[in-house]
A and B are shown apart, each in its own frame.
Chain A
Amino acid sequence: MDSYNAPESTPSASSRPEDYFIGATPLQKRLESVRKQSSFIPTPPRRKIPQCSQLQEDVDPQKVALLLHKQWTLYSLTPLYKFSYSNLKEYSRLLNAFIVAEKQKGLAVEVGEDFNIKVIFSTLLGMKGTQRDPEAFLVQIVSKSQLPSENREGKVLWTGWFCCIFGDSLLETVSEDFTCLPLFLANGAESNTAIIGTWFQKTFDCYFSPLAINAFNLSWMAAMWTACKMDHYVATTEFLWSVPCSPQSLDISFAIHPEDAKALWDSVHKTPGEVTQEEVDLFMDCLYSHFHRHFKIHLSATRLVRVSTSVASAHTDGKIKILCHKYLIGVLAYLTELAIFQIE
C-alpha cells in the first residue's frame, strides 16, 4: 500500500500552522486541548508521589474527618455556570425546597407534612492544590431531630462534595462565569444523589457523569500509594482481579503485607519523588510473575478491579475510600486529573 505523503500545497502562498488560530476563543482552546489529549498517550509518563500539602493544614480537621474512612462514589462534573460562593445559604434553601418537592411528588398522603430535612452548604477551606484552584465545598443532608432535647446535630443522611485539586489545565480554558470543580464525591442513597445532581444540573447547567477507574489507572494508584511514606500501616495492600467468565465472574484476591509491597516498590523505584510509567509497569509485572510462580495464573490476562492500600482504596466502578489524612490532597489530585480527562 502506498505510504501517504502530504503533497506540497498547490497555492504558492506560504502558510505556517500558527496562521490558523490567531485569536483563539476559549472554545477553540478547548478543542485544541482535546486534540492534544487525543493525539498523545492520555496520561503523562510521570507523576509526583503524593506529598503532604501545606494548604491542607488550613482545613478544618472536623471536616476532614467527615471525608475519611467513607466510601465515596466518584463523578466528573463540567464547570458550574454562575455559581457563587456568596450564595451558599440561598442554595441551601433552594435545594431543600427542591428535595422536598421531589420527594413529595405524587404522594397525596404526605402533603403538608414537613420532611424534616435540612440541607447545609459549607466550604472546605484549604482543600486545594494551588491558590488558583477554586474552593471545595460540601453539601450535607441532615435529618432534623424530632425532639428538641436530643442531639441538635441530627443524622447525616447524605453527603457530597465538590473539589478541584491542581486543576490548572481546565481552569485555563474557561471564562470567569464558570466555576471548575471537576471532581464530585457522593456518599448516601443514590436516589438522593440523583435528586441533588439533577438540581445542580438544572441550576448551574453542568453535567455529572459517573467516573469509572480503568485498570491502567488503578495500577497507577497502586504504585503511587505504595510509594507514600507511612508512619504506620493501617491496612494490608490488596489487589482484586476479575476473570471474565459466564455466568458469574471469578475474582482473584491477592493480599500483600504493606511493608513487603513498599520493599518491592523501593526495589523498582529510581527517580526520587516521582513515579514513572516504566516503574508502574515493572511494579505490576513483579506482582504478576510472583503470582504466576505460585499459582500458574497469568494475572495480566485478567482485569484489575480493586486496589486497597493504607492510603486509600479504589474500585473500578468509581468508588473510593481515603484512609490516610496525610495524603488526602495527593489522592484527590490524581482523581481530579482523571475527572478532567473525562470531561475534556
Chain B
Amino acid sequence: MSPQKRFKNVQAQNRTSQGSSSFQTTLSAWKVKQDPSNSKNISKHGQNNPVGDYEHADDQAEEDALQMAVGYFEKGPIKASQNKDKTLEKHLKTVENVAWKNGLASEEIDILLNIALSGKFGNAVNTRILKCIIPATVISEDSVVKAVSWLCVGKCSGSTKVLFYRWLVAMFDFIDRKEQINLLYGFFFASLQDDALCPYVCHLLYLLTKKENGEIENGKLILFQGMQPHLQALLSLYKFFAPALISVSLPVRKKIYFKNSENLWKTALLAVKQRNRGPSPEPLKLMLGPANVRPLKRKWNSLSVIPVLNSSSYTKECGKKEMSLSDCLNRSGSFPLEQLQSFPQLLQNIHCLELPSQMGSVLNNSLLLHYINCVRDEPVLLRFYYWLSQTLQEECIWYKVNNYEHGKEFTNFLDTIIRAECFLQEGFYSCEAFLYKSLPLWDGLCCRSQFLQLVSWIPFSSFSEVKPLLFDHLAQLFFTSTIYFKCSVLQSLKELLQNWLLWLSMDIHMKPVTNSPLETTLGGSMNSVSKLIHYVGWLSTTAMRLESNSTFLLHFILDFYEKVCDIYINYNLPLVVLFPPGIFYSALLSLDTSILNQLCFIMHRYRKNLTAAKKNELVQKTKSEFNFSSKTYQEFNHYLTSMVGCLWTSKPFGKGIYVDPEILEKTGVAEYKNSLNVVHHPSFLSYAVSFLERGGNRERGKKWSWYLDYLFSQGLQGLKLFIRSTEGINCNNQY
C-alpha cells in the first residue's frame, strides 16, 4: 500500500472510531480508541479487538468499492451492458461518498481527472465527477498538467472546461508543486480570449503570476477591451510587479474582483485544510519594533543585491560638459570594462581602466577585486565602502521582524562577501562596521557560520579599540551558548589570529614598498596581537570551567594555541605568548590521549620558538626592543618542569603544580607520585593495556623505552617530539 493511502486509512479509521464512540458502552473499548497511536495498532492487529476489526472491515469494503468504481470509470462505459445506468450510478455514488467523506488519494484524482476531461462519458457524468474530486491531502502537479493537456484536444464541452477551471482555482493551494503548471502560463493566458472562461482563467493567472510573468505578458493585455473586474485584478497584479510597464490607471477602491468559485467545494476545502494542517498551528506573528520598514530593494533593484557591471562612461560624459583635447584622447584610450576578460588584460590596461559606475559590482568580478585590492585610490574604496555598508544594513534580516523569508538571500550575499574576502585574503572595513552595529543584536543562530567567518576577517586593528565593540558582545553570546557555539567561536578566533599574523608578517616585509593602510609601529601591532591571545586565553579558561573541562572544547582551545606557539618561527614576528595555567593543567591532567599528545606538541613548538628567539638575541647582540622578558622564559620553564615532573620523573606535585602533601594524603591514593607518569598516566590507559596484551611485560629491564617506542609507533607524534627534545634536560629517564 502506498504511504499516502495508508495515511488516509489511518485517518479514516480515526474518523469512524470517533464517530461511533458515542455508541460504545464499555469504557475500556472507548479508551483504546481515543488514543491515536493505539488506533494504528488496531488496524494492524485488528483481531484482538472485535470492534476495531469490524470497523476495519467496513473501511476495507469502502476502499474496495472505491477501487472498483475507479476501475469501472477507467475502463469506460460498457455499451452492451443491460443495467449500464444502474452500475454507473452505483459507482458514481461510491466515489462521491468517499470523496466527500475522506477525500481521494492523488492517484485516484489522477485517474478521475483523466476520465472527466477525456470525454468518455457524457457531460452530466463529467460534471458530477469533477465536482467530487476532493483531495485527501494533496493533488499531484502531474495530474493537473495531464488534465490541461486534455483541454487542447477539444474532447470536453465548454461547461466542463469552465467547471475544470473553477475546480483548479478552488484546489490551487492543494497542488503539491507549481513549476510545471507555471510553464503553461502562456497557454492559460491565451485562453483569456474565451469569454466564458475568461473570469476563471483570470483568477487562475492571478494566483499563478510571478514577477517574470508580469513583465512578459502584460503588454498583451492591451488587446482586451472593457474593464471587467477580473481583468482589472490581473492588471493590478501586473502593475504591482512591473509598475513602469502598465500605464492604465486602475480604480483603487474596488477590492473584490473574482466571483467566488470555491463555493462548490467550500465545506470540502475546510475539511482538507483541517486534514493538512496537522498538529502544529501556524506561529502567531506579533508586530514588534519597527517591523514594517519598506523593503526598498525588492521594488527598486529587483534583479539582485549586487549591481550589474557597467562602465562609468555615463558619469564621465555628464561630469565634464566640454572635454579638453587631452581628455578626449584619454577617453579613447581608456579600456572598457566589458572587454576585460583576463588577468594579463588587466595588467596591460590597469592605468586606463574605466571603473564601474557602481562600485558594488566588483564583488562579482574577480579581476576587478584584484584591481580594488591594489589600488589605493580613496574614492574607489570609499564608494565600495558605502555601497557594502548600506547593502549589508539593508539586507540584514534580524534588523527587521518578519523579514526572515529573505534569509536565504542574505546568507548568499554574506557568502559572496566572504568568498571575496578569502580571494583577496583581506577583510573589508564595511563588514567590520556592520559587525559593530549588528553583533549586539545578533541571536547567535541566524547565519552563524557566515557571521563567525566575518569575525575572522576583521581587518587588523588595535584590539583594545575593537574589544568593547565586538568581542565583549561576542563574549556574552559565547558564555551563554552551547558548547558547539563556543567551539565555533574559538575556531573563528583562531582564523582571525591567523589572518592578522599573515597580514602583519607581509606588512613588515613589504613596508618600504607599499604604504600600508594602517601605519602602525611593530610594537603596537604585537601588543594588539598579544591582547587578542590573552583575551582568547581568558575566554577559554572560563569556558573550560563552564563546560566542566570538556575534552571536545579543549581540542579547539589547543588548536588555537597550536597557532600561538609558532608565531616567532612561522610568521617571523617577535611574539611568544604562553597559555594560561587553566588550559595547561587541564590538558596535562586530561583523560584523553590526543589532548595530552597535542599539549606535548605545543610545548615542543614553544620550546623551538623560544630557543630560536634566544639564539637570535645572542647573534644580534644589539639590544632589540623585542627581547622577550625573562618572565616568558620563566613561565615556560615552570610549565616544562611540571610536565617533566608528571610524565617523566614521577615527582608530580613538587615544583610546577604544588599541592599540599596533607591534601594528597587525604585522597588516599597510595602511590600518587607514579600515577601521572607516562606509564601510569590515565590518558594512556588503553595503550598500556594493548601493550601488555602484546606481551610487553616479558622483559623487565627495557620496559620503559619499549613502551615509549610502542606509544610512538601508535602515532603519538607530539609525545615523541616532546620527549625527544626534552631528553637532554632530564637524564634520569629510568623507571
B480 to nearest A CB, angstroms?
11
Contact B357 A10 (CB under 8 A): no
Contact B359 A205 (CB under 8 A): yes
Q: Does B711 contact A (CB under 8 A)?
A: no
Q: Which of A130-164 contact B (CB under 8 A)?
A: none
A interface, CB within 8 angstroms of B: 1-2, 4, 6-7, 9-17, 19-23, 25-28, 30-31, 34-35, 38-39, 78-79, 81-82, 84, 86-87, 90-91, 94, 102-103, 105-110, 174-175, 177-178, 189-191, 194-195, 197-198, 201-210, 212, 214, 242, 244-246, 249, 303, 316-318, 342-344
- Given the complex of chains A and B, what is the CA–CA distance between A31 and B542 in angstroms? 31
A6-B464, A30-B429 known; A317 and B293 CB under 8 Å?
yes
Contact B519 A22 (CB under 8 A): yes
For the complex of A and B, the 3 pairs showing the least CB-CB separation, nearest first, are: A13-B523, A191-B243, A78-B386
Q: Does B433 contact A (CB under 8 A)?
A: yes
For B300, the chain A residues whose CB sits under 8 A away are 194, 197-198, 201, 208
- Given the complex of chains A and B, what is the CA–CA distance between A105 and B321 in angstroms? 29
Identify 18 residue pairs between A and B in the complex whose beta-carbon atoms are under 8 Å apart, listed by A's number.
A2-B541, A7-B531, A15-B527, A20-B524, A30-B429, A35-B466, A82-B315, A90-B318, A90-B321, A106-B215, A174-B382, A178-B379, A191-B244, A194-B299, A204-B315, A205-B387, A207-B387, A343-B389
B283 to nearest A CB, angstroms?
11
Contact B318 A210 (CB under 8 A): no
- Given the complex of chains A and B, what is the CA–CA distance between A244 and B289 in angstroms? 9
Chain B, residue nearest A213 (CB):
B290
A14 to nearest B CB, angstroms?
7
Contacting residue for A26 out of B222, B315, B382, B433, CB 8 A = B382
B interface, CB within 8 angstroms of A: 215, 218-219, 222, 242-245, 247, 284-290, 292-294, 296, 299-301, 307, 310, 314-315, 318-319, 321, 357-359, 378-379, 381-383, 385-387, 389-391, 393-394, 429, 432-433, 436-437, 461-462, 464-466, 468-469, 475, 479, 515, 517-524, 526-527, 530-531, 534-535, 538, 541-542, 574-577, 625-629, 632
B595 to nearest A CB, angstroms?
22
For A7, the chain B residues whose CB sits under 8 A away are 531, 534
Which of A14, A34, A205, A208 gathers the greatest number of chain B CB atoms within 10 Å? A205
A39 to nearest B CB, angstroms?
6
A78-B390, A201-B358, A202-B310 known; A27 and B381 CB under 8 Å?
yes
A148 to nearest B CB, angstroms?
24
Chain A, residue nearest B516 (CB):
A23
For B629, the chain A residues whose CB sits under 8 A away are 10, 12
Starting from the known contacts A27-B382, A27-B429, A35-B436, 15 additional A-B residue pairs (CB-CB under 8 Å) come to A4-B535, A10-B575, A13-B523, A21-B519, A28-B429, A31-B429, A39-B468, A79-B386, A103-B247, A106-B245, A198-B300, A202-B307, A207-B386, A318-B293, A342-B393
A49 to nearest B CB, angstroms?
27
- Given the complex of chains A and B, what is the CA–CA distance between A44 and B466 in angstroms? 22
Contacting residue for A11 out of B432, B519, B530, CB 8 A = B530
The prevalent SS among residues of B at the interface is helix
Contact B357 A203 (CB under 8 A): yes
Contacting residue for B245 out of A107, A198, A245, A344, CB 8 A = A107
A184 to nearest B CB, angstroms?
12
For B575, the chain A residues whose CB sits under 8 A away are 10-11
For A209, the chain B residues whose CB sits under 8 A away are 296, 390, 393-394
Contact A107 B247 (CB under 8 A): yes
- Given the complex of chains A and B, what is the CA–CA distance between A35 and B458 in angstroms? 13
Contact A13 B626 (CB under 8 A): yes
Contact B318 A94 (CB under 8 A): yes
For B378, the chain A residues whose CB sits under 8 A away are 25-27, 175
Chain B, residue nearest A73 (CB):
B294
Contacting residue for A34 out of B433, B464, B519, B538, CB 8 A = B433
- Given the complex of chains A and B, what is the CA–CA distance between A2 and B540 in angstroms? 11
For A14, the chain B residues whose CB sits under 8 A away are 523
For A316, the chain B residues whose CB sits under 8 A away are 290
B224 to nearest A CB, angstroms?
13
- Given the complex of chains A and B, what is the CA–CA distance between A343 and B515 in angstroms? 28
Chain A, residue nearest B435 (CB):
A38
Contact B433 A102 (CB under 8 A): no
For B222, the chain A residues whose CB sits under 8 A away are 109
Contact B286 A207 (CB under 8 A): no
Contact A20 B574 (CB under 8 A): no
B362 to nearest A CB, angstroms?
11
For A197, the chain B residues whose CB sits under 8 A away are 300
Contact B462 A17 (CB under 8 A): yes
Contact B526 A249 (CB under 8 A): no
A25-B517, A343-B390 known; A10 and B632 CB under 8 Å?
yes
B428 to nearest A CB, angstroms?
10
Contact A245 B385 (CB under 8 A): no
Contact A11 B358 (CB under 8 A): no
- Given the complex of chains A and B, what is the CA–CA distance between A206 and B384 in angstroms? 10
B407 to nearest A CB, angstroms?
19
Chain B, residue nearest A177 (CB):
B379
Contact B531 A105 (CB under 8 A): no
Contacting residue for B358 out of A205, A249, A317, CB 8 A = A205
Chain B, residue nearest A19 (CB):
B524
A272 to nearest B CB, angstroms?
34
Contacting residue for A110 out of B247, B307, B315, B535, CB 8 A = B247
B114 to nearest A CB, angstroms?
38
Contact A105 B319 (CB under 8 A): no
For A177, the chain B residues whose CB sits under 8 A away are 379
Contact B518 A206 (CB under 8 A): no
For A22, the chain B residues whose CB sits under 8 A away are 519-520
Contact A19 B523 (CB under 8 A): yes
Chain B, residue nearest A210 (CB):
B294
B391 to nearest A CB, angstroms?
7
A31-B432, A317-B293 known; A202 and B219 CB under 8 Å?
no
Contact A20 B523 (CB under 8 A): no
Chain A, residue nearest B316 (CB):
A82
A255 to nearest B CB, angstroms?
23
Chain A, residue nearest B437 (CB):
A38
B506 to nearest A CB, angstroms?
18
Contact B469 A39 (CB under 8 A): yes
For B393, the chain A residues whose CB sits under 8 A away are 209, 342
Which of B284, B290, B310 gathers the greatest number of chain A CB atoms within 10 Å? B290
- Given the complex of chains A and B, what is the CA–CA distance between A5 and B58 in angstroms? 77
For B479, the chain A residues whose CB sits under 8 A away are 1
For B515, the chain A residues whose CB sits under 8 A away are 23
Contacting residue for B286 out of A25, A38, A214, A245, CB 8 A = A245
Contact A86 B382 (CB under 8 A): no
For B625, the chain A residues whose CB sits under 8 A away are 11-13
A28-B517, A317-B292 known; A20 and B462 CB under 8 Å?
yes
For A82, the chain B residues whose CB sits under 8 A away are 315, 319
For A4, the chain B residues whose CB sits under 8 A away are 475, 535, 538
For B522, the chain A residues whose CB sits under 8 A away are 13
A203-B314, A246-B284 known; A10 and B628 CB under 8 Å?
yes
- Given the complex of chains A and B, what is the CA–CA distance between A39 and B473 in angstroms? 12
For B465, the chain A residues whose CB sits under 8 A away are 17, 20, 35
For A94, the chain B residues whose CB sits under 8 A away are 314, 318
For B358, the chain A residues whose CB sits under 8 A away are 201-202, 205
Which of B292, B314, B358 gathers the greatest number of chain A CB atoms within 10 Å? B358
For B307, the chain A residues whose CB sits under 8 A away are 201-202
- Given the complex of chains A and B, what is the CA–CA distance between A106 and B315 in angstroms? 26
- Given the complex of chains A and B, what is the CA–CA distance between A177 and B377 in angstroms? 11
- Given the complex of chains A and B, what is the CA–CA distance between A6 and B577 in angstroms? 13
Chain B, residue nearest A317 (CB):
B292
A125 to nearest B CB, angstroms?
21
For B379, the chain A residues whose CB sits under 8 A away are 81, 175, 177-178
Contact A2 B542 (CB under 8 A): yes
Chain A, residue nearest B295 (CB):
A210
- Given the complex of chains A and B, what is the CA–CA distance between A195 and B299 in angstroms? 10
Contact A106 B461 (CB under 8 A): no
Contact A21 B387 (CB under 8 A): no
